[in-house]
Amino acid sequence: MKRRFLCILILLCLLVIPSVLSESSLTAEPLIGLFQISDETSLGYTSDTTFDLSTLKAGHYASFVFRLTNNSSKTIDINSAYARIDDGDKLGWGKFSLAPNHYTNCHIFYSNMSKVTAGTHKVELFINGQKTGSAYFTLTDGNASSAVRKGSDSSRNQSTSKSQSASKSQSASQNFTPTNRSPYLVCEPVFPNTNGFTEYAVDFIVENQPIGTYLCLCNWDMDLSYTRQKYASVYRAYDGVAAYGGVQVLQDGTHAAIMSVWHTYCKDKKGNVTTIVPKITYVAEPIKTGTFGGEGTGIQCIVQYDWKANTPYRFLLQQSEDKKTGNCLMEMWICDLSTNAWSKLIQYDLGIQKTYINRAVTFLENYIVESAAEYRDARFSNFRALNNRTGRWVSATQAKMWQDFDYPGSYTYGSEGNSFFCRTTGLPGIWSRPKQFATFKVRTAESGSPY
């Protein structure tokens, strides 16, 4: 009796084990596919799981696809196959078999994809009752896909942007809990034959702006040659960083502009240190001013500036000299290019003399961990600098781009048309990562004075 029971048990195991081994040999690669609406005919696939819906032609639609591959040496029978988007309804396919080392593309049909709104979504694949694949995909509506244009009309896009941003926020927060900040992306314009400049401008536009976003429009360093003549050593908390300025979305949702300047430390031959403390000499509508610490020490100024999504702006730094002290003054301006209205926001007395900007970069940062899963982006165009030797404006048509600090998540960057772009999220598996420190080019950039 015991021997008969043992034989039956062995036979049952032999029946079950091959099925488990076969299913574990399946892999699911996330793709975006283009299809005909009329008959579901495939028009091609891409591994980039972010898709701009505004690029679709009439009669076509974009679908999320799992490329299901059988990596084993035996045929696998698929008795149950379905996907779920954002933990929603089961979206199933019929029974089929998958031959050894073959694949099939399981795509979401038009009747279901037509219900998926713009935003970032989680999708899971279940084969024979087992979860076989999980990924995220992002659909955008293309509102910010064009280069920044002077005087463009963006008011019609405001309501769309708000609902789209809310959709992304909801789907991401429901399906993903970030544990760190999302990737930090840097764009450094290359100004030909220009080692120093006294003014700087860049046009920018943002489609998605969740809380905890800092779009730094200029993180710059300044020449200290004149100051170094008076001391044994001159330094700052961070090598290569004198100040930065840009726009933020604060934790309470307030839209603001910021300019922070680091202290300069001067040590004489006896080891005595003199600290040059910058001073705020003008502030438009202050939210917060004072000293900062943690990342070096300096003076910070945050002001109210109600910048909006899908609206083109121009950021400007202007350097001048205080006639009484000879100190360098630095002003920060922003122009709403849809109305051509300039706003002077902040001015500093930097406390140093006979200087100029010798390096400038932009960066896109998420600084609140809780909002890391949200999608954030930025576009830059018309980088310009006023050469401190020739007194002429120089345009940049090339920029070096990279990801810094190696935070988890997904990111991409590059150039399209006349603009450079950055896209980042704490969600994994959205884009294939571009090459680090790659140089990208744009077709053209405006020349001459930006004002």
C-alpha distances in angstroms, 130 versus 51, 65, 67? 28, 18, 16
Query: Quick one: pLDDT band at residue 21, thresholds 50, 70, 90?
Result: very low
446 three-state secondary structure: coil
Query: Quick one: pLDDT band at residue 121, thresholds 50, 70, 90?
Result: confident
At the top level of CATH, which class does the domain 24-140 belong to? Answer: mainly beta
C-alpha distances in angstroms, 302 versus 62, 179, 245, 319? 42, 27, 10, 19
CB atoms under 10 Å from CB of 15, counted, come to 9
Query: Quick one: pLDDT band at residue 164, thresholds 50, 70, 90?
Result: very low
- 278 φψ region: left (φ > 0), alpha (ψ -120 to 50), beta (else): beta
Q: Tally helices (H) and strands (E) across the chain.
A: 4, 32
Helices (H), 81-229: 110-113, 158-175, 225-228
The Cα–Cα gap between 336 and 342 comes to 7
CB atoms under 10 Å from CB of 64, counted, come to 26
Locate the DSSP E strands across 162-262.
Answer: 184-190, 197-205, 213-222, 233-235, 243-249, 255-262
Is-above-0.95 flag for pTM?
no
* Digit-coded pLDDT (tens) for 252-278: 999 999 999 999 999 999 999 999 999
Query: Quick one: pLDDT band at residue 436, thresholds 50, 70, 90?
Result: very high
Query: What is the helix, strand, coil percentage profile of the chain, to 5?
Result: 15, 50, 40
Evaluate if residue 155 carries a pLDDT over 70: no
421 three-state secondary structure: strand
Q: Strands 130-140 and 119-127: what pairing?
A: antiparallel
Query: Quick one: pLDDT band at residue 175, thresholds 50, 70, 90?
Result: low
Q: Quick check: 292 and 259 in contact, CB under 8 A?
A: no
Domain with CATH 2.60.40 in the chain: 24-140
The Cα–Cα gap between 423 and 167 comes to 17
3-state secondary structure 253-304: CCEEEEEEEECEEEECCCCCEEEECCEEEEECCEEEEEEECCCCCEEEEEEE
| Residue whose C-alpha is closest to residue 401's, from 437, 435, 374, 365 | 437
